[in-house]
Every structure is written in structure tokens, then in C-alpha cells.
Structure 1
Amino acid sequence: MSVQPAHHPDQQPRVPRTPDGIAEALTGARRMAFYRELGQAPIDQAEQVLNRWWCEAEMDADPEQGRIIAAARAGTLPTVTMAEIIRLRRERGGELLGE
């Protein structure tokens, strides 16, 4: 399995991690779907809804989105392994889940 980071660690997220920030980054039907899902979520699941939609909003707000999608479809998108991500996080002093 390989992954592509949404943004580099030294960059600030494009989308504020708030309900209004997420909604602002989404458009039309996606914004309404976000509000509907958040409004119907039990309180103990609201954070999960916000996290999922924040990821969606970050991708939607990426100015490179078209290029990234085209590269992924063409099989030319650069990727790294999870082992490499873990190694880099440890080198930079980042915490890993479960540690």
C-alpha cells in the first residue's frame, strides 16, 4: 500500500478545521450533504463526520487537484510506502498512533 500526503507538514491546511471552514470549501450539493450528515450525526459521531469532511474539503481546495487526479489515473502519481512515512515521522519527532 502507498499513500500521497494531502499537504506537507510545514504547510498550514488550506481549510480551517471548523464546520464553517469545511462548508466554505465545499460547493453546492456537497456542502448540503456535509450539513445534512453533520446535523443527523449523534453527538458522539460528530467529530468523525467533521474529520471525514475536512479531508474531502482539503482535497477539493487543492489547486493541484486536476493534475493529481490525472496522474493517479495515469499511474504516474509519486507515492511512498507506509514504512517510509513512519520512518520520516520518527526522524522528525512526530508521534505515531499507539505510541
Structure 2
Amino acid sequence: MSAQPVHGNPAGRPRVPRTIGGISDALRGSRRAQFFAELLEAQQGPELDCVLSTWWGRAMLDTDPERDRVHAAAEAGTLPTTTMDEILRRRQERATR
């Protein structure tokens, strides 16, 4: 298992720029309004950074080419899952290589 992106992007750029405009452009439907509501309430500094980071993650999910397939599999109960114990075991194996 790897933390590398499944879908590559040209020049290694993220699908969604980590900017207010990039995030806004990527969000679907009413999520854009929610983003701006939180953004306008956040104070400069850690609070604003948190809003941007949270919504950037959501924007990345909204623009994932596999989003609809993954969502359907999750709804159907067929999405592959793993346990934290399995994840830790794999990480320990990689660390010893």
C-alpha cells in the first residue's frame, strides 16, 4: 500500500490548488456556500489555516475521478476496508525493509 496519488497530475501539481479560489472552484453545490460562510467567520492565523486545510481536503474528494465509484461501493457495503492493526503491521514491515 502506498500514500502516492492514484491519479497523477501534470508537473506534480495537485488537482485542486490550495487557494481560496481553487477550493471554491472545486467544491460541489451548496458546499461552496458552506466554505465561504466558514471562511468569512475565521480569524487570520491558525483558525483560517484550519478552515482552508479542511475544505481543501473536501475539495480534493469532490474532484476525485473515482469519487462516484467509491461512494457507490461504500453505500453498497462493498468498499474494501482494513483494520488499524493491519495498517500498523504493514507500516512496520516497510520500516524494516
TM-score by length of 1: 0.68
**Greater share of strand residues, 1 or 2?**
1
Per the alignment, residue 9 of structure 1 pairs with 4
Gaps of 5+ in 1: 1-6, 93-99
How many positions carry a matched residue from both structures?
Answer: 87
Higher relative contact order (Cα pairs below 8 Å, separated by 6+ residues): 1
* Cα-Cα RMSD: 2.6
TM-fit CA distance, 1:54: 1.1
TM-score by length of 2: 0.69
Per the alignment, residue 57 of structure 2 pairs with 55
**Greater share of helix residues, 1 or 2?**
2
Change (3 A) 1:87 1:39: farther
| Higher Rg of the two aligned structures | 2
* Percent identical: 49
The answer on whether the counterparts of 2:42 and 2:51 sit within 8 Å (CA) in structure 1 is yes
TM-fit CA distance, 1:87: 4.8
Gaps of 5+ in 2: none
Per the alignment, residue 22 of structure 2 pairs with 21
